[in-house]
Amino acid sequence: MGRPAYQPTDEQRAQVTGWMQAKVSIEEIARRLDMTPKTLRKHFAAELVLISVETVKTALESARPRTEVYQPTSEQREQALILAGAKLSRPEIARKLGVTVEVLEEHFAEELAQGPVKCKADIISSMFYAGKGGNVAAAKVYLIFNGQEEEVPGQQPAAAGMLGKKEAANIAAQGAQSGTPWDELVPSSKPN
């Protein structure tokens, strides 16, 4: 997995020290060693007199090798599954989980593959059971999703072409004054 960490030799350290005494620039030293100035500063900080030699020795002695293997949590796995089900891009999912795209692809491959199918199946299942339990909106969505746009029992009257309570009351109110003392005071209007 990747190339090994760079380890400067004693000869290189002596060269860098000599060049620094000769007042050669950091950029030129980096060019001579075929590395970037950033890498040069990182590995030759003591020779470049950026930090003390004691600090470098202490840091090297206290540094522990990276032997820990990344272990995703069950919450991260579930989150990856949901985000993959929502068809987010891999960089977006990796950013949300706080990992690199490489780690995402290595440790969450199953969730990335199953997310779109499993999440869709879970939602359809939830709509089915909600519709079966009496949730008319869920039943409609389920049937429309499956291409079975049939009339659902308990459907709203307006959707079935029938008059609703308010519309029927408005029509009845149009001629309510007929046969009452209000008949002469209220002008008659015809229903729509």
Same domain? For 86 and 121 the reply is yes
Burial track 153-186 (b if 16+ CB lie within 10 A, e otherwise): eeeeeeeeeeeeeeeeeeeeeeeebeeeeeeeee
Of 92, 112, 127, the domain-final residue = 127
In a domain, 108, yes or no: yes
> Which is higher by pLDDT, 156 or 112?
112
Give the pLDDT confidence of 114-162 residue by residue, as tens digits: 998 898 888 888 888 998 898 888 888 888 877 755 555 555 555 555 6
In a domain, 167, yes or no: no
pTM (2 d.p.): 0.41
> Which is higher by pLDDT, 62 or 159?
62
Total domains in the chain come to 2
In a domain, 100, yes or no: yes
Sorting pLDDT into bands at 50, 70 and 90, what band is 166? confident
C-alpha count within 13 angstroms, C-beta hemisphere, residue 102: 3
Of 25, 40, 62, the domain-final residue = 62
Q: Residue range 54-77: average pLDDT?
A: 71
In a domain, 118, yes or no: yes
Same domain? For 51 and 85 the reply is no
The helix (run of H) or strand (run of E) holding residue 60 is helix 53-62
Sorting pLDDT into bands at 50, 70 and 90, what band is 78? very high
In a domain, 169, yes or no: no
Q: Residue range 90-97: average pLDDT?
A: 90
Instruction: Give the pLDDT confidence score for residue 82 in this predicted structure.
Output: 92
Residue 27 is part of which domain span? 10-62
In a domain, 162, yes or no: no
Residue 60 predicted with pLDDT over 70:
no
In a domain, 148, yes or no: no
Residue 184 predicted with pLDDT over 90:
no
Same domain? For 26 and 52 the reply is yes
- Considering the chain, what is the average pLDDT of its residues? 79
Sorting pLDDT into bands at 50, 70 and 90, what band is 110? very high
